[in-house]
Structure 1
Amino acid sequence: MAPQLPYRVMRDIFERFRAHEPEPKGELEHTNAFTLLVAVLLSAQATDKGVNRATRALFEQVSTPQEMLELGEERLIEHIRTIGLYRNKAKNVMKLCCILVEEYGGEVPNSRAALQGLPGVGRKTANVVLNMWWGMPAQAVDTHIFRLANRTGIAPGKDVVAVERAIEDNVPADFARHAHHWMILHGRYICVARKPKCAVCLIEDLCPKEGVE
């Protein structure tokens, strides 16, 4: 775990991220808050590309909780069978839809607590939805961000909650909204787990390369 970077270095890093990609986007395909929520739930222990392949046809048929309930669990399974843990995820999606229809008028709530009260929705999923759909500066920490945060010193922490708090505390406020996407994309494609691509890294000269051989 690298030590926390100084504020000036943090600004330099995120200024470079912003210059390279001013409006970073998540890679999960969706049409509204509901389909985003479903896609993020399905993406646990699966790749975004795999989820997109499975949901393209599904989201052409379904765009609301009520339509998902009308589709039914077995037909949902037919769409998502290629995704890991698909049976359990299908059950959670159907339970989630029942709650959205009965308690929220078919709308997806925009608070972390309400989202985390839905079946299959943890803190990371809630933060992704809050960030991607409502533009809130919520920081969803996955394996890519956890690795990058600790390797670079952007937001060191022993667990995902500690890293999330370190991002919130240390990333300059004007970069907070997009910090999640800049970090996840950098961790996914450049600062990879094995043999990170330091030769093409935007922040190579600012990175302590903690744990990189």
Structure 2
Amino acid sequence: MKILILLPLFSCLGLTACSLPVSSSPSQITSIQSTQAIAKLFDQAQSAGVLVIQRDQQIQVYGNDLSRTNSEYVPASTFKMLNALIGLQHGKATTNEIFKWDGKKRSFAAWEKDMTLGEAMQASAVPVYQELARRIGLELMQQEVQRIQFGNQHIGQQVDNFWLVGPLKITPKQEVEFVSALAREQLAFDPQFQQ
């Protein structure tokens, strides 16, 4: 059984309100203790957030700001997954292709080298995924985002930053559902690209 946990960088992850019957079972008490402990961690970090977990088809949410579960945020680095799937599916890149560093200073030293899509995913290398998005192009990118029904499905007119600054937005719940489908290889892409 897989448990998928998504912790987007923008600290906007999801909790079910718990009300216990008078005779609570030990598992219910443990669940409430976990819920309270996770909310406390967000409080200690002086951050409002929600943690969304999908186990099988059931969504569980935890945190100190549960309203974030269905609030929209830019997907930021989490969009790299769909960006890569689209690029691979349409032959805009391969898994072994080396994206050449242009020699320019980057926000992070880890981005200042040649790398594959996989290496760029691990380093969260925005410039590589911006290059891939430019290869995909605005029209194809919009078609694919709509076909997959990713978030609000609006990418605007600039193909290389819509996931960083908008207008594309997605809720933490939608994000977890997307990642869960990817983990089960159930997205409408060749299975080889979903591994």
TM-score (norm 1): 0.27
Query: Which protein is richer in strand relative to its size?
Result: 2
Query: Which protein is richer in helix relative to its size?
Result: 1
